[in-house]
Structure 1
Amino acid sequence: MRAPLSWLREYVDLPADTTGRDVQAKLIDAGLEVERVEQLGSDLTGPLVVGKVLTIEELEGFRKPIRFCTVDVGMANGTGEPQEIVCGARNFTVGDKVVVVLPGAVLPGDFAIAARKTYGKVSHGMICSGEELGMGDDGSHGIIVLPPEYEPGTDAIELLQLRDEVLDIAVTPDRGYCLSMRGIAREVATAYGLPLRDPALLDVPAPNPHGHPVQVSDPLGCDRFTARTVTGLDPEARSPIWLQRRLQKAGMRPVSLAVDVTNYVMLELGQPLHAYDRSRLKGPIGVRRAERGEKLTTLDGTKRVLDAEDLVITDDNGPIGLAGVMGGANTEIAGPEEGGSTEVVIEAAHFDPVSIARTARRHKLSSEASKRFERGVDPAATSAAAQRTVDLLVLLAGGTPEAGVTEFAAPSAPRTIAMPAGHPDRVAGVDYGRETVVRRLQQVGCDVYGQDELIVTVPSWRPDLTDPNDLAEEVIRLEGYENLPATLPQPPAGRGLTERQRLHRRVGRALAGAGYTEALNYPFIGDWALDHLGLEADDPRRLTVRLANPLSEAEPSLRTTLLPGLFAALRRNDSRGEHDLALFETGLVFHPTGDERPALRLPVDRRPTDQEIAELDAALPAQPRRAAVVLAGARERTGWWGQGRPATWADAVEAGRIVAREAGVELIVRQDQQAPFHPGRCAALLAMADGQEVLVGNAGELHPRVVKAFGLPERSCAMEIDLDRLERAAGGVVEAPRISTFPVATQDVALVVDASVPAAEVEAALRSGAGELLESLRLFDVFTGEQLGEGKKSLAYALRFRAADRTLTAEEASAARESAVATAVERTGAVLRGA
């Protein structure tokens, strides 16, 4: 919201020496976000005056039309003689009043004006456009043509209000009342301790049955609707300069008098309005929900297909506007160039904020009206806003208000809140006292009754005030956040990170150390991603928790796997020229428990009880913690040091082992078939828990169809593992490795097995047979060839033996090796190679 200081002074008698920065500081102290104070006209110096065009000579022989003009500027040039000026614009004629800048002036942008020869003539100054004066977009792109009543030589800086200070305020969603000069002026008056001249305090005639008929079919969507009619408008009337300038300073473009007046009143009172050309209305104005498939062409020229939840304004011909968002083109007010509208019906209504917000988002149509309605508009201001609009149209366009006043109002009662008088004291830790609490709440606009227990009636323009803590916040912010005492919390001793949190951090550091880059993604997913992953209809990952108010309809649910987010990051980086990629993410996934219930609203004035915390936990979905990686391109790059190699499924499996080692778990790797992996290059990652093998994750190369669906590089690989299952398999305690001072004995063994025998089974047999002396076992070679025979493979392992209390003899190491081989022969049918 842009608030000109000159406009604020109309409602609050600020001291004459108060600057925009002074007001900014006061409003920031009161909790508003004033981003900047724009100094309009600070770099503008005169003379800048009104001029009357006396003659126009068309200069020939140039590539573009050029005009040599004489302009009467009164005595502003010191002589009273006509000023000779060269100008290229063509939107003015002889006799028009224009804005002239004379030599010696400086325009915005440090543009100094001097007499200079151009196009064979000497130009003594310049005829100005709004853009050259820093006036913003006025809807035209030519010279400013002023009304005829201004005398030549009049100071145009003051006339056009070119010097001002404008406060640019970022209004937060809970302070919708500050999207109006009325609301900001209230905050300024409170901050300075000055009285407020409320522009909404108007004499409004009583409703009667003679106004334009209105039929509200959905009182929940529209609880108030006021209609007023003004006839006899001058179709040639234009908005006066002061009105246009206030709109421009507030960031709006002047359009036509009727539209400008409704925009002006919206900025002034915060109540969006709409004006209909009565000659284009057929029958009564109605408010209802749209019928699915109905169509409406809005004022922006777009033909929109309506949804059944859309609230629409109608007449006998159908929808004529999206309620609270944008009007329809079929009842649009005609401008002067179109003959003008002489009779208008003014709509001032109050609509349900949620309905308006959803309609604006559904149609991707955010307007000044919808911004205000979805943040909460004062429902009691509709009559005053309509009256203010009528008064301005009568004043500026010579209209006549009809006696009829139509007003629909659904039954409602003022909102009251009961609050102990000392509640703000307890929340802030400051002794404000009852008098201060009552005074501050009254400044907000509340009516306060009672002594120890206050009964507070909330003003209609503050829908954000719903409970005692909201009232306490108002007292605290008006008394000054800077006056709150600074105290450090005293955490109880002996608490730190949980084991789950420690594992999470260790895993992140380990993967980063292994060359992976962390990529954080939003935890949302859509059915399209689950389809692209190739998941079966009964796959548990298809059971998602749907959000009540998703940010995007394309991703309305919480994720059940980390992979789609990593795929998007991989695709984005690959498309930007980064082809050798290794990304990881650690985070939560979400699974419905089947026992979801509405979440309990916890208190803020005390610690929740154990039962309340248990109820809140029971309302949450299951949230296991996962780690996942994706790889593409080269895992080791080619260089002077040697040949590189591409990332393969084995690197994804190794990433799983890296994660498992941080949990103190030794993974068991077996072949598997699991979406979204290639059926022949997919590994199941297993861990031993309570004597049983538990699936903790999968790794491998992605299926070609998945690669194509997500737009990933060829042969991309991935791994996803469940950290909570790893933690349970580890028993919650990671033991530090034991370091022996005795030397290691290394024995190699090569075994020939059938090609169908998994290496993991051979490894498990070797470990079992080797006994306690085996420190580690590593597969370092896999060989196939004619000399082995068809369907055979050779697996070569390095076995390291060590004792904790002595140096092993050669005989002991050989015996352990032979025992390991014997067990492998017995269990897998292996044959010792070379035997």
Structure 2
Amino acid sequence: MRVPLSWLREYVDLPATETGRDVQAKLVSAGLEVETVERVGAGLTGPLVVGKVLTIEELTEFKKPIRFCTVDVGAANGTGEPQEIVCGARNFTEGDKVVVALPGAVLPGDFRIAERKTYGRMSRGMICSGDELGMGDDGSHGIIVLPPEHEVGIDATVLLELYDEVLDIAVTPDRGYCLSLRGIARETAIAYGLPLRDPALLDVPAPNAYGYPVAVADPIGCSRFTARTVVGLDPEARSPIWLQRRLQKAGMRPISLSVDVTNYVMLELGQPLHAYDRGRLDGPISVRRAEPGEKLTTLDGAVRVLDPEDLLITDNRGAIGLAGVMGGADTEIADAVTDPETGQTAGTTEVVIEAAHFDPIAIARTARRHKLSSEASRRFERGVDPLAAAAAAQRTVDLLVLLAGGTAEAGVTEVLAPSAPHTIALPADHPDKVAGMAYGRETVVRRLQEIGCSVTGQDDLLVTPPTWRPDLREPNDLAEEVIRLEGYENLPSTLPRPPAGRGLTERQRTHRRVGRALAGAGYVEALNYPFIGEQVLDQLDLPAGDPARRTVKLVNPLSDEEPALRTTLLPGLLTALRRNDGRGSHDLALFETGLVFTAAEEPGIAARLPVHRRPTDEEIARVNAVLPRQPRHAAVVLAGAREQAGWWGQGRPADWADAVEAARTVAREAGAELLVRQGQYGPWHPGRCAELVVVVDGEERVAGHAGELHPRVVKALHLPARTSAMELDLDLVEAASAGPVPAPRISSFPVATQDVALVVDTAVPAAEVERALHEGAGELLESLRLFDVFTGEQIGAGRKSLAYALRFRAADRTLTVEEATAARDAAVALAAERTGAVLRGA
């Protein structure tokens, strides 16, 4: 919102010495984001005067049109003689009033005006355009042609209001009232402790039955509609200079008188308006939702296919405007056109003014749906004062009557939906508790009244926020108003004192250990957005009924292509891997730990939890019952070389075994025992997929999968060949742990190593053999490692040999050979009993 300081002074009697920088500091202290203060006219010095073009001589001997003009500037040049000026512009004629920069003037950009000979003539000055004076866009891009009533020789800098300061304010979504001079003036008056001249305090006639007919079919979408009619407008009337300059300084382009007036009132009061050419309306105005397939040509010339959720302004022919966003071309105000034969001027002479209040959510969704953000929609979607509609309509009527010679019809239409004021119960000491300092009841009441609230009560206040503050809904909203007006800089700086003995939770410690362990194993962490689309689930080859397809859809997604929350970490990681591979990094090992989201089987609406106390266990349980399940997962993806080749020897590519080992690393850090067995699931290759199982409360549960991705998935996602991946439910793995992970135990006694080679059927998983060896060896077993797998004629068809290295150690003594051998034999015996294993060579 751009706020000219000269306009702001109309509503607040600021001290004459106050500059834009001073006002900026006050508003920033009050919580507004004043980004810049622009000095309009900086670098411009006179003499700059009004002149009258007396003669124009066309110089035709040059490649481009050049005109030699004489201009009457009165006594401004010290002689009273006409000023000779060479000019290349052609949008003015003899008799026009123009702006003349005389020798000695300096225009913006340090452009100095002096007498000089050009195109064979002496030029003593310059006839100026708006761009050359830094006036902004007026739509003409030519010489400024002034109305004929202005006197020759007067100072044009005063006439055109060329010197000013403009505050550029970044209005946050909760402060829609600041998208108006009225709102900014109120904040300024409070900051300076000065009275406010509210421009909305106008005498408004009572509604009657003689106004333009209006019907509202959707009172939720349109809670108020005011219509006024002005007739007898002069179609040739143009916006006065002061009105055009205020629009330009506020960042808007003057268009025509009727449109300029509605824009001016919108900037002044914050109420968007629309003017219809009454001669182009067909019957009553109505407000309704769009029909499926209905179309509308908006003022920008685009034909838009409407959505049934769109709120429309219609007449008997159909849609004539997108409510609160943009009007339709069928009822556009017509520019004045003069018939060359009759000399008569035709144009809009009767207008119907619309001042309505629309539902903010409906307008925001329509503007986004059609990618059509306008000044009106920006205000409606942030909340407009519903009581300002009648005053804005009256202000528009007054300006049209004053500037275009129109007559206001007596009819006043006002359609209202019943509503009750919103009240908030506020303990008088609540702002004190929020801020951590004592304000006192008197200060709290005074500050709330300054922003327009009605306050009653003593210790327990009953506050009714003003209609222009729809953002004030809770006691904390009111506390924030008191705190910001008293000054954020006055809040004491105190550090919170956390209670002793409360550090990270066990879940947080596990999460950090897993991340450190994977990073130590050579993986690089890649953090990804938690959004996915349905297409990626198809590319991952997930079956139709898979739980991972039960996604949580976002009501307001950042991208329509990714409207759901992720149910797996793989899409983000694989996208990162593909992007890095495409940029030349071919040896990749990435990991991520984060939440995934699975929709509840019976979705519901979560209740709002209190903030002034800790919610009860029952309240938390009710909220959790309707929230999506949000387990924490850990995942890795690998491609290219896992070990680089060099002078030290051969490298090797990453494969499915590395993904399985990453799962074992995660399980070790969580203190859980991980069972690895052959599996088959979704994106993984059916012959190179490991099912990762943990035991929770005596029950085996699948915690994830690891292995090489299916070639079909690799092709669909454009991944490097033989890409491998692992994903594990970290919460489930943690639930399988025996408790906090103990510190490693270090023994000063030597280790005893025993190797065994067991022959089993090919179908027997190595994990089952390892599990039996672990249990059979007992407490003396320190570690177990599979170091060789052999198949061949020596051991027979359908058989395989698994060679293990067993390390035994005691914490309190050196083991004897007999003790180590007995532990090994016990391990082999249990493996033979469970898996049918026999010692190789026995």
**TM-score normalised to the size of structure 2?**
0.91
Give how far 1:501 is off.
Answer: 0.8
Is residue 73–residue 153 contact of structure 1 (8 Å, CA) maintained in 2? yes
Counterpart residue identity of residue 722, structure 1: D
Measure how far apart 1:215 and its partner are.
0.8
Aligned to 1:298: 298
Distance 2:213 2:151 in 1: 47
2:616 equivalent to 1:601: no
Match of 2:249 in 1: 249
Quote the residue 1:348 is aligned against. Answer: 355
Query: 2:455 aligned with 1:444, yes or no?
Result: no
Describe the SS at the equivalent of 2:255: coil
Aligned to 1:190: 190
Please give the secondary structure, in 2, of the residue aligned with 1:405: strand
* Alignment deviations for residues 366-399 of structure 1 (CA, whole Å, 9 cap, x no partner): 2211111111111111111111111111222222
Q: Deviations over 1:403-432 (max 9, x none)?
A: 221111122233333434444344444443
Which secondary structure state, in structure 2, belongs to the residue aligned with residue 235 of structure 1? coil
More moved, 535-544 vs 432-441: 432-441
Cα distance change of structure 1 residues 808 and 423 upon mapping to structure 2, 3 Å threshold: closer
Q: CA deviation at 1:654?
A: 2.5
Aligned to 1:406: 413
| Shift in CA distance, 762/309, structure 1 to aligned 2, threshold 3 Å | same
Separation (CA, whole Å) in 2 of partners of 1:121 and 1:443? 64
Cα shift at 1:579: 4.2
Q: CA, structure 1 residues 68+766, in 2 after alignment: closer, same or farther (shift >3 Å)?
A: farther
Deviation string 1:574-603 (CA, Å, 9 cap, x unpaired) is 455544433322222223444554333233
Contact preservation (8 Å) 1:229, 1:402: yes
- Residues 424 and 828 of structure 1: CA distance in aligned 2, closer, same or farther (over 3 Å): closer
Among candidates 706, 711, 722, match of residue 713 of structure 2 = 706
**Which residue identity does 2:590 align to in structure 1?**
L
Residue of structure 2 equivalent to 1:227? 227
Please report how far the alpha carbon of residue 445 of structure 1 lies from its aligned counterpart in structure 2 after TM superposition: 1.4
The answer to whether the 8 A contact 2:201-2:391 is kept is yes
Q: Which residues in structure 2 correspond to 1:379-394 (within 5 Å)? A: 379-394=386-401
1 CA distance for matches of 2:421 and 2:196? 23
Aligned length: 835
| Mapped partners of 1:119, 1:827: distance in 2 | 108
Q: Does 1:307 align with 2:281?
A: no
What amino acid sits opposite 2:318 in the alignment? G
Q: Which residue of 718, 722, 745 maps to 1:715? A: 722
- Counterpart amino acid of residue 326 in structure 2: M
C-alpha distance 462-718 of structure 1, shift in aligned 2 (>3 A): same
Partner of 2:262: 262
Match of 1:144 in 2: 144
Residues of 2 paired with 1:326 and 1:768: CA distance? 76
Q: Distance in 2 between matches of 1:638 and 1:793?
A: 31
Look up the SS of the partner of 1:535 in the other structure.
Answer: coil
Distance 1:420 1:126, change over 3 A: same
Q: How far off is 1:193 after superposition? A: 1.2
Which residue in the other structure is 1:45 paired with? 45
In 1, the alpha carbon distance for the partners of 2:777 and 2:490 equals 73
Corresponding residue for residue 211 of structure 2:
211
Are residue 396 (structure 1) and residue 399 (structure 2) matched? no
Between 1:648-657 and 1:429-438, the stretch displaced more is 429-438
Cα drift, residue 691 of structure 1: 4.7
SS in 1 for 2:736: helix
Pair 1:534-2:561 in alignment = no
User: Residue 696 of structure 1 aligns to a residue in which SS?
Assistant: strand
Q: 1:368 aligns with which of 366, 370, 375?
A: 375
CA distance in 2, matches of 1:397, 1:571: 65
User: Contact between 1:427 and 1:605, CA under 8 Å: does it hold in 2?
Assistant: no
Residue 764, structure 1, aligned to residue 771, structure 2: yes
Q: Secondary structure at the match of 1:764?
A: helix
CA RMSD of aligned residues (A): 3.2
Secondary structure, in 3 states, of the residue corresponding to 2:411? Answer: coil
Change over 3 Å in CA distance of 1:640–1:463 after alignment to 2: same
Q: 1:831/1:449 Cα in 2 relative to 1: closer, same or farther (>3 Å)?
A: closer
**CA 1:81–1:770 in 2, change beyond 3 Å: closer, same or farther?**
farther
Q: Distance in 2 between matches of 1:606 and 1:692?
A: 39
Per the alignment, in what secondary structure is the counterpart of residue 357 of structure 2? strand
Deviation at 1:56, TM superposition (A): 4.7
Shift of 1:138: 2.4
2:733 paired with 1:726: yes
**How far apart, in 1, do the equivalents of 2:778 and 2:353 lie?**
92
Give the stretch that moved more between structures: 95-104 or 439-448. 95-104
Tell which deviates more after alignment, 270-279 or 458-467: 458-467
In structure 2, do the counterparts of structure 1 residues 420 and 794 end up closer, same or farther at CA, with 3 Å as the change threshold?
A: closer
Report the CA distance shift for 1:494/1:461 in structure 2 as closer, same or farther (over 3 A): same
Within 5 Å, which residues of 2 pair with 1:368-767?
A: 368-594=375-601, 596-637=603-644, 644-747=651-754, 756-767=763-774
Q: Distance in 2 between matches of 1:254 and 1:415?
A: 39
> How much has 1:259 moved relative to structure 2?
1.3
State the secondary structure of the residue aligned to 1:622: coil
Q: 1:746 to 1:270 in 2, by over 3 A?
A: same
Deviates more, 1:170-179 or 1:142-151: 142-151
AA aligned opposite 2:260: D
Return the offset for 1:547: 4.1
Distance (Å, rounded) in 2 between the aligned partners of 1:153 and 1:794: 109
Cα separation, partners in 2 of 1:390 and 1:770, compared to 1, 3 Å:
same
Report % sequence identity. 79
TM-score normalised by length of structure 1: 0.91
Q: What is the CA–CA distance in structure 2 between the aligned matches of 1:420 and 1:769, rounded to whole Å?
A: 69
- Contact 1:256–1:336 at 8 Å: present in 2 too? no
Contiguous gaps of at least 5 residues in structure 2? 339-345
Alignment CA distance shift 1:766-1:87 (3 Å)? farther
Aligned to 2:200: 200
Paired amino acid for 1:545: V
Aligned to 1:321: 321
CA contact (8 A) 1:499 1:732 kept: no
The residue type paired with residue 177 of structure 2 is: Y
- Deviation string, structure 1 residues 746-785 (Cα, Å, up to 9, x no partner): 4555666665443434443544555544332333455667
One-letter identity of the residue aligned with 1:225:
F
How far has the Cα of 1:534 moved from its partner? 2.3
- How far off is 1:212 after superposition? 1.4
**What residue in structure 1 maps to residue 18 of structure 2?**
18
- Name the SS for the 1:172 alignment partner: coil
**Structure 1 residues 768 and 485, CA gap change in structure 2 (3 angstroms):** closer
Provide the C-alpha distance between the structure 2 equivalents of 1:597 and 1:182, rounded to a whole number of angstroms: 42
Deviation at 1:22, TM superposition (A): 1.3
Change in Cα spacing, 1:346 to 1:650, as seen in structure 2 (3 Å) is same
Deviates more, 1:751-760 or 1:685-694: 751-760
CA contact (8 A) 2:551 2:598 kept: yes
- Partner secondary structure for residue 361 of structure 2: helix
Aligned counterpart, 2:343: none
Q: 1:518, 1:337 → 2: CA distance?
A: 68
Instruction: Work out the CA distance in 1 between the residues paired with 2:388 and 2:400.
Output: 18
Deviation sequence 1:240-287 (CA, Å, 0-9, x none) = 222222112212222222111111111110001111111221111000
The answer as to 2:108 corresponding to 1:108 is yes
Tell me the SS of whatever aligns to 1:173.
Answer: coil
In the alignment, the residues of structure 2 paired with residue 55 and residue 572 of structure 1 have an alpha-carbon distance, to the nearest angstrom, of 69
Q: Which residue of 2 is the match for residue 332 of structure 1?
A: 332
2 CA distance for matches of 1:363 and 1:686? 50
3-state SS of 1:393 partner: helix
Q: 1:794 to 1:247 in 2, by over 3 A?
A: farther
Secondary structure in structure 1 of the residue aligned to 2:635: strand
Partner SS state of residue 209, structure 1:
coil
The one-letter code sitting in structure 2 at the alignment partner of 1:656 is A
Amino acid at match of 1:154: I
| Residue 794 (structure 1) shift | 5.7
Give the Cα separation in 1 of the matches to 2:811 and 2:650: 40
